Amino acid sequence: MKVGYYPGCSLEASSKEYSDSLFAVAEKCGISLEIINDWNCCGASTAHNLNHELAVALPARSLALAEKQGLTEIVIPCAACYSRLSQSQYELNQDSIIKTKVENYLNMSISGSIKLLTVLDFLHKYIFPVVDQHIVNKLNQKTACYYGCLLARPKETSTIKRTEDPMEMEEVMQKAGATPIKWAFKTECCGAGFSVSKTDIVAKLSGKIIEDAADRGAESIIVACPMCHMNLDMRRPNIKKQIKRDINIPVLFITQALGLSMGISADRLGLNKHYVPTDKTEKCIIKKEA
Amino acid sequence: MARIGVFICHCGENISATVDVEKVAEVASKLQGVAFSTHYKYMCSSPGQDKIIQAIKEYKLTGIVVAACSPRMHETTFRKATAEGGINPYLCEMANIREHCSWVHEKSEETTQKAIDIVRTLVAKVRRNAPLFPIKVPVTKTALVIGGGIAGIQAALDIANAGHKVIIVEKQPSIGGHMSQLSETFPTLDCSQCILTPRMVEVSQHPNITLHTYAEVESVSGFIGNFDVKIKMKAKSVDHSKCTGCGECWQKCPNKKIPDEFNAGLSNRTAIYTPFPQAVPNKPVIDRANCTWFTKGGKCGLCKKTCKAEAIDYETTDEYLDIKVGAIVTATGFDLKHSDFFPEYGYGEYKDVIDGMQFERLASASGPTAGVIRRPSDGKIPEKIVFVACAGSRDKAKGIEYCSKICCMYTAKHAMLYKHKNHEGKAYVFYMDIRAAGKGYDEFVRRAIEEDDVQYIRGRVSKIYEKDGKLIVKGVDTLLNAQPVDIEADMVVLATAVIANKESESLAQKLHISYDKHHFFAEAHPKLKPVETNTAGIMLAGACQSARDIPETVAQASASASKTIALFSNNEMSREPAVALVNNVNCTGCLLCQEVCPYLAIEKEEIKDRNGNILRYAAKINSGLCQGCGTCVAMCRNKSIDLQGFSNEQMLGEVMSLLNKPF
């Protein structure tokens, strides 16, 4: 089976392990991911702050290319990229004026019919039906599933059922044998792109998330967004200074956690690329009872 | 030979700005049967009506067409003028060239042509109009009041005091409604029970009022002045004629863990119970769903053994009572969204996040804490309470766009009551706007802020979560440069949205009244008929129509009562004669019409010879029941039924004239 794939910039660089683990899990389940040829930047947080048409046109180009390539479904692992691509497609379908404009800029036509999948949609649709036969380990841990701001919002384009209290990640982690905890910060903002310009704010916001997870007994935090991962993982020294507590629970991409339960090696899943060591999570893996 | 007068109204500029009224009048004057035509700025005004009256006399008119607004607006006005002119009022019809033409089109020749077409069809109809006479029906001078809250109580007392019989049907074991649950009432802080219970007693003792508690409306048929209502009297399992209300039974009842509805779930009650000590009637019923005798097949029976009056009877069943009433006042009240509606506030997971009604019970002297405000989780007196206004209301994303209206006031009252009882305590209110537009209302809110030191924060709460035994309330202060505000509270009170009673939809269907998309009952006109419904003889009172506070509810209840009393001031009433009529010479008596009639208005008539021998059968319409829907007319195989005022001939005349074909 073949599904289209839009990597976005993070998955090629700072969050390469997200991409690696996604490919590893997909491969294990017999699904191949086909990259959109000549894809371009989604515009990220910059474009839609500067120019509305540009913010629609940038993702539209990748969508048009995907259509040309004959893809009917694409998985977009980065929550921000998903947000931009889905928002662009939504607006093109709603607003014929902007659609005409964008098609003229790009000199390409867009039908707007491609089904866009978040990583959670992808896991639920393609991995869930076959996952049981591939799960060999039990990830014997309490995990805090963290959605961040974009995965569940906005309502118009989100595929999540309960915006304020989503459960889709928890369902995946249960498959992996983990025990998802109830906590209060699963859809709070980590500070996102302010990581660079206002690191103190990010440390404060991310600090609250890490503290709540730790206080409620989480042994790992599971994410599905490169930006969330970066803030919760790489910014740990700033967070430590901010909250005056040294919390060292690791942050894993959901595909990494699922990969571990499938018996894929930590190296292949890129667990060595994290700032906060993940060895505690790796150690708690036990063989699944037959 | 018809002599029809056509009167074109400008409606100020509503019509004349887009339709060339002079041309319409000119063309109309040349139509077949038209003897006179004119136009005027306000046809509905007194000089406008005079034009009609004068023209009838001067030109010996036999029919009138007024081309103006919708007949819903002014048909009665012009029919009255027609009658004053000396001819049967039903010879007057309205051509709607406002809603159907000038309001929905731009100024153009086509618009004028459409107005002419509309006038022409109505002229063709009026040429075939026959004089009709209103139908007289008797009025049953008994009113049914559905719901025994403050709205129902007020309406019932007003009607009863005017000398008419009233029957109250209340679903709960006692009357009193939500008002009996309240602690103090804004803006005067008088005790709710103190002002309500005397009224409740008055209801129970009034010679003109019959009270049915633990009962529901099962079905309603008939029409204004003559409703037939079936009431379901739920089995109380206690014979109230024997019961003395001594209370031994509920003290003995071993099933003590049933969430108490009256205390909004903050305490428990027994299976045999009265809802509260001041209940009317103050006699218990058995909640069979929670009684061991009924759930475990005849075990227990303690209450029966205890009862010295031998009032307890497990064998009683639901009974049905048929009553005849002339008017119905619907006063079924409201419900509140519960605190478990909000995922961002923990989906009801935190015990100390409560709704407004629960706070009322905590603050009430008759409540589970005897008026000491203690938080539900551990019974501690909270040092800090956050009140969240607009919890669900005015929130499109939550599906409730409307303002719940009472929350601004009761939240100020809650904060005030808390501060009066705990001087050192801190009270915060998160709000969007303060809507305090009632007599003494704004002063009340100012008092909470200025004298009782309640901290008002303009902003919404995004999240509530528990941390180290405290509830962290995350919000924003939009007046302080949109600063995020985190408050560590001991208790949070959500002013959750007022919603329609969950049975309101099914009741509306039983009553044949309309309701809005939020299941609140719809009034006949939002401004001019605020207490009537679209079904004549059925009135609305209180929060079943939309969120309202006590003063407004009482005013509306009295308004419904006065409408009812006005209806009862006549021994008989007139109905519009637009009903079906059978030509029993042609009728073959197949009675297909009887099967399709939704109002059960058609019966079988025996046609006899002079010696009393039955020759054949024919259909007969009960004009009291017929609503003029016309279904029977469509069903009749040999056109023996016609709808008066909308006869086949009239309708065909309209259609043919629209097609410019002779008929």
Q: What is the CATH number of the domain that holds A247?
A: 3.40.50.11810
**Cβ contact B644:B580 at 8 Å:** yes
Domain co-membership, B110 together with B216? no
Q: What is the CA radius of gyration of chain B?
A: 31
Residues A271 and A144 in one domain: yes
CA atoms within 13 A on the CB side of B494: 30
* B428 vs B456: CA distance, rounded Å: 6
- Listed in sequence order, the residues at least 6 apart from B67 whose beta carbon sits closer than 8 Å to its beta carbon are B6, B7, B8, B9, B24, B28, B94, B95, B97, B115, B118, B119, B122
Query: Residue A212 in contact with residue A184, Cβ under 8 Å?
Result: yes
pLDDT of the residue at B104: 96
- A156–chain B Cβ distance below 8 A for any pair: no
**To 10 degrees, the CA torsion angle through B550, B554, B557, B563?**
-150
Residue A123 resides in a domain:
no
Q: Do residue A111 and residue A152 come from a single domain?
A: no
Beta carbons of A215 and B342 less than 8 Å apart: no
Interface check A164 vs B, CB under 8 A: yes
Residue A170 shares a structural domain with residue A267: yes
Angle between helices A52-68 and A96-106 (to 10 degrees): 70
- Report yes or no on B185 lying in a domain: yes
Which of the listed residues B474, B499, B524 is the one where a domain comes to its end? B499
Q: Return the residue in B344, B470, B473 with the most chain A beta carbons within 10 A, the one to mutate for interface testing.
A: B344
Q: Are A175 and A212 in contact (CB under 8 A)?
A: no
| 8 Å CB contact of A162 and B343 | yes
Judgement on whether residues B255 and B324 belong to the same structural domain of the protein = no
Claim to verify: residue B464 and residue B490 sit in the same structural domain: yes
pLDDT in tens, B472-515: 999 999 998 889 999 999 999 999 999 999 999 999 999 999 99
How far separated are the first and last CA of chain B, in Å rounded? 15
The answer to whether residue A83 sits within a structural domain is yes
- B395 lies within 8 A of chain A by CB: no
Residue B378, CB half-sphere, CA atoms under 13 Å: how many? Answer: 7
Burial class (CB in 10 A: 0-12, 13-18, 19+), B321: middle
A139 and A87 together in one domain: no
Residues B16 and B101 in one domain: yes
Residue B476 contacts A where some CB pair is shorter than 8 Å: no
pLDDT tens-place string over residues B383-422: 999 999 999 999 998 899 999 999 999 999 999 999 999 9
Is B57 found in the same domain as B19?
yes
The pLDDT value recorded for residue A289 is 72
Strand partners, B68: B96
Backbone φ and ψ for B653, nearest 5 degrees, come out as -55, -45
CA distance B625 to B643: 14
Cα separations (Å) of A265 from A13, A21, A134, A136? Answer: 21, 10, 14, 12
- Confirm whether B516 is domain-assigned: yes
Residues A144, A112, single domain; the answer is no
Residue of B342, B397, B465 lying closest to A184 (CB–CB): B465
| Nearest-by-CA chain B residue for A213 | B467
CA neighbor of B512 nearest in space, from B630, B633, B598: B598
| pLDDT tens track for B66-80 | 999 999 899 999 999
One domain, residues B396 and B493: yes
Where does residue B406 rank: exposed (0-12), middle (13-18), buried (19+ CB within 10 A)?
A: buried
Q: Is residue B648 part of a domain?
A: no
Q: Is residue A128 part of a domain?
A: no
User: Residue B198 maps to which CATH number?
Assistant: 3.50.50.60
Whether the per-residue pLDDT at B108 is higher than 70: the answer is yes
pTM of the full predicted structure?
0.81
Q: What is the pLDDT of residue A290?
A: 61
**CA of A196, closest CA in chain B: separation in Å?**
21
Query: What separation in angstroms does the CA of B478 have from each of B393, B450, B459, B492?
Result: 19, 20, 5, 20
Same domain for A279 and A221?
Answer: yes
Give yes or no for residue B103 having a pLDDT over 70: yes
Contact A164 B467 (CB under 8 A): no
From CA B479, how far away is CA B477, in angstroms rounded?
Answer: 5
Question: Which residue, A66, A90, A117, sits at the end of a domain?
Answer: A117
**Closest to B234 in 3D by CA, of B297, B287, B295, B197:** B287
A268 inside domain: yes
Number of domains within chain A: 2
Does the distance separating the beta carbons of B344 and A164 come in below 8 Å? yes
More confident residue, A233 or B346: A233
- The CATH code of the domain that includes B613 is 3.30.70.3270
Average pLDDT of span B256-263? 96
Name the token pair of B343: 């995922």
Q: Do A188 and B343 touch (CB under 8 A)?
A: no
Say if the Cβ atoms of B463 and A162 lie within 8 Å.
no
Say if B398 is an interface residue toward chain A (CB within 8 Å): no
**Considering only CB atoms, which chain B residues are within 8 Å of A182?**
349
- Are the beta carbons of B343 and A215 separated by less than 8 Å? no
Place of tokens 């002045």: B225
Which residues from chain A sit within 8 angstroms of residue B472, using beta carbons? 184
CB of B115 closer than 8 Å to CB of B71? no
ipTM, 2 dp: 0.81
**Does B465 contact A162 at a Cβ distance shorter than 8 Å?**
no
Residue type for position A289 = E
Distance CA B658, CA B100 (A): 15
Residue A121 host element (H or E): helix A119-122
Residues B476 and B624 in one domain: no
Query: Is residue A108 packed enough to be buried (19+ CB in 10 Å), middle (13-18) or exposed (0-12)?
Result: middle
Q: Which of residues 259-278 of B touch A (CB under 8 A)?
A: none
- Indicate if A269 and A219 belong to the same structural domain: yes
**Structural domain containing residue A109:** 2-117
Residue A145 lies in a domain: yes
Note whether residue A130 is domain-resident: no
User: Which residues of chain A does B466 touch, with a Cβ-Cβ cutoff of 8 Å?
Assistant: 184
- Whether A212 sits inside 8 A of B463 (CB atoms) is no
Q: What is the pLDDT of residues B425-444, one digit of tens each?
A: 999 999 999 999 999 999 99
Give per-residue pLDDT as tens, B528-539.
999 999 888 999
For B131-257, where are the alpha helices, taking DSSP H only? 150-161, 192-205, 248-252
The encoded tokens of residue B111 equal 């618009």
One-letter amino acid for residue B533 of the chain: T
Domain boundary at B499, B525, B551, which? B499
Both A99 and A140 in a single domain? Answer: no
Q: How do B135-138 and B92-96 pair as beta strands?
A: unpaired
Q: How many structural domains comprise chain B?
A: 5
Question: For residue B398, which of B475, B485, B487, B499 has the smallest C-alpha distance?
Answer: B499
Considering the domain architecture, whether residues A171 and A232 belong to the same structural domain is answered as yes
Q: What is the pLDDT of residue A237?
A: 95
Assess if residue B131 is contained within a domain.
no
Yes or no: say if B233 and B335 are a contact pair by the CB < 8 Å rule. Answer: no
- Are residues B477 and B340 located together in one domain of the fold? yes
* CA quadruple B284, B290, B292, B295: dihedral sign: positive
A156 domain residue, yes or no: yes
Mean pLDDT on B309-327:
96
**Residue B490 and residue B353 in one domain:** yes
pLDDT grade, residue B655 (50/70/90)? very high
Q: Output the pLDDT for position A288.
A: 78
pLDDT (tens digit, 9 = 90+) per residue, B118-171? 999 999 999 999 999 998 889 999 999 999 999 999 999 999 999 999 999 999
In a domain, B444, yes or no: yes
Burial label for B30, CB within 10 Å (0-12, 13-18, 19+), is: exposed
User: Among A67, A86, A117, where does a domain finish?
Assistant: A117
- What's A145's DSSP letter? E
CATH code of the domain in which A101 resides: 1.20.1050.140
Residue type present at position B634? A
CA distance A92 to A137: 44
The stretch B253-266 carries a mean pLDDT of 95
Hey, are the CB atoms on A184 and B463 less than 8 Å from each other? yes
Q: Is residue B655 part of a domain?
A: no
DSSP bridge partners of B586: none
What are the phi and psi torsion angles at A19 (to 5°)? -65, -45
| Rounded Cα distance, B649 and B663, in Å | 10
B662: in domain: no
B392 and B450 share a domain? Answer: yes
Q: Do residues B325 and B227 make contact, with C-beta atoms less than 8 angstroms apart?
A: yes
Q: Is B656 among the domain residues?
A: no
Range of the domain at B589: 580-643
Closest alpha carbon to A110 in A62, A158, A167: A62
Q: Which chain B residue has its CA at the smallest distance from A205's CA?
A: B484
Q: Note whether B488 and B542 are same-domain residues.
A: no
d(CA A171, nearest CA chain B) in Å: 18
A226: left (phi over 0), alpha (psi -120 to 50) or beta: alpha
As a whole number, the mean pLDDT across chain B is 95
Q: Are residues A142 and A245 in the same domain?
A: yes
Does residue A12 lie in a domain region? yes
**A140 and A111 in one domain?**
no
Residue in chain B nearest A182 by alpha carbon: B346
Q: How close, in Å, is residue B448 to chain A by CA atoms?
A: 32
Domain boundary among A117, A149, A181: A117
Rounded Cα–Cα distance for residues B55 and B7 (Å): 10
Give the separation between CA A75 and CA A185, rounded to whole angstroms: 26
B470 touches chain A (CB under 8 A): no
Contact A184 B466 (CB under 8 A): yes
User: CA B644 → CA B590, B601, B623, distances in Å?
Assistant: 21, 15, 11
A13 touching B (Cβ < 8 Å): no
CA distances from B49 to B5, B39, B44, B85, B256 (A): 13, 12, 6, 10, 71
Is the domain of A112 the same as that of A139? Answer: no
DSSP string, A149-194: TTTT--TTT---S-TTS--HHHHHHHHTT-EEPP-S-TTS---TTH
Could B465 and A155 be called an inter-chain contact, meaning their C-beta atoms sit closer than 8 Å? Answer: no
- Ranges of chain A with pLDDT below 70: 290
- pLDDT for residue B626 is more than 80: yes
